[in-house]
Structure 1
Amino acid sequence: MRHSLMLALALCCAAANVYAEKADSSKPIELAADRGSLDQKQGINILEGNVVATQGTLSMRADKTIVTRDAQGNQTLQAFGNQAQFRQKLDGKNEYIEGQANRVDYTSVTNQVVLTGKARVKRGADLVTGEQITYNTVTEIYQVMGGSPAASGGTKGRVTVIIQPKPQDKP
């Protein structure tokens, strides 16, 4: 049985909305890997072996990535590996959001990131873990699911959320 927990939190419990670095989307994407297959006509790029992708403050590492772009310019990214990882600076703060999972899927149309398989998202000292984490990069709404009994060795899957207290104002 899978447990689902809808979290409408901005992981640091701040009242202000904090988003990923806005300038990143206007910067070029640099991809490096051991090998690649690029089909510009179909809009499909496959990179394998020590894949490193960077765009501004966003960096991602994976064993394999598949990046597609449709005629309207919408992009999808699938990253696979023994813990694909990403890190991105938050807009206007000297703080980063970091995540890892066995698979990471991103769709620009919906602004959804889905981390599957030992998923973990960390922002500052706050942490969310589960078998699958769905995160909207615009609304900052998380949905976290624990694993099924088969996926977690016969025990019920659990999610973990660690939220640090808000610093108190000093007199």
Structure 2
Amino acid sequence: MRHSLMLALALGTLCAPAFAEKADSSKPIEVNADSASLDQKQGINVFEGNVIITQGTLSLRAHKTVATQDANRRQKLQATGSPVYFRQKLDGQAEYVDGQASRVDYDSANNTVVLTGKAQVKRGKDIVNGEQITYNTATEIYQVKGQGGSNTTGRVTIILQPQEKP
């Protein structure tokens, strides 16, 4: 069970893995939910109903999470909610990364986290909004998409604050 639950940790570092609170990885993972189904043989863990996952400064809230791990220890996590919320402190700073979306998918094999459905990521006063935010944890590259489609004019919004002078 511990290996599959490590997916929760990976999700917490989705917005700023190089900057996430390093001490969090050595903290215990706590999962609270209305129900759980743990299939260790198949490597599938499902938590439903007011799911709250915490590890150190990492916090994730969702309606449902499904964590899987294959024979090669590749991990996937899917969290759904109205919306899914996450928060984690940045390493050595008093600042947090906060995010939300209707669905969050993490895939360790592809090093990707995808936030879909009114996705938003905030770091301090900087904000990124879009219908879908994809983040590659290896390359640290974001891709943000608006709603798109022929009948919509959905656009992305990025608000960056000026850097303070030392």
TM bucket (normalised to shorter chain) is: 0.7 to 0.9
Q: Which has the larger radius of gyration?
A: 1
How far apart in 1 are the matches of 2:141 and 2:155? 19
Q: State whether residues 20 and 137 of structure 1, in contact with CA within 8 Å, keep that contact through their aligned partners in structure 2.
A: no
Alignment of 1:41-80 (within 5 A): 41-80=41-80
1:157 aligns with 2:157: no
1:137-161 per-residue CA deviation (whole Å, 9 max, x = no partner) reads 34432100000247xxx33110000
How far apart in 2 are the matches of 1:49 and 1:114? 22
Match of 2:32 in 1: 32
Structure 1 portions without partners, runs of 5+: 1-10, 12-16
Structure with the bigger RCO (C-alpha within 8 Å, sep 6+) is: 1
1:43-67 per-residue CA deviation (whole Å, 9 max, x = no partner) reads 1001110000112211100000001
- Percent of paired sites with the same residue: 65
What is the aligned residue count?
151
Paired AA for residue 156 in structure 2? V
Match of 1:105 in 2: 105
The counterpart of 1:166, out of the listed 160, 163, 166, is 163
How far apart in 2 are the matches of 1:142 and 1:100? 15
92-101 or 72-81, which deviates more: 72-81
How far apart in 2 are the matches of 1:137 and 1:96? 17
Identify if the C-alpha distance between structure 1 residues 84 and 98 changes in structure 2 by more than 3 Å, giving closer, same or farther. Answer: same
The TM-score, its normalising length taken from structure 2, stands at: 0.83
Q: CA deviation at 1:114?
A: 0.6
Paired AA for residue 123 in structure 1? R
Match of 2:10 in 1: none
Match of 2:84 in 1: 84
Q: State whether residues 90 and 97 of structure 1, in contact with CA within 8 Å, keep that contact through their aligned partners in structure 2.
A: yes
How far apart in 1 are the matches of 2:138 and 2:25? 13
Q: CA deviation at 1:117?
A: 0.3
Paired AA for residue 44 in structure 1? I
Please identify runs of 4+ aligned residues in structure 1 that moved more than 6 A: none
Structure 2 portions without partners, runs of 5+: 1-14
Q: State whether residues 62 and 79 of structure 1, in contact with CA within 8 Å, keep that contact through their aligned partners in structure 2.
A: yes
The TM-score, its normalising length taken from structure 1, stands at: 0.81
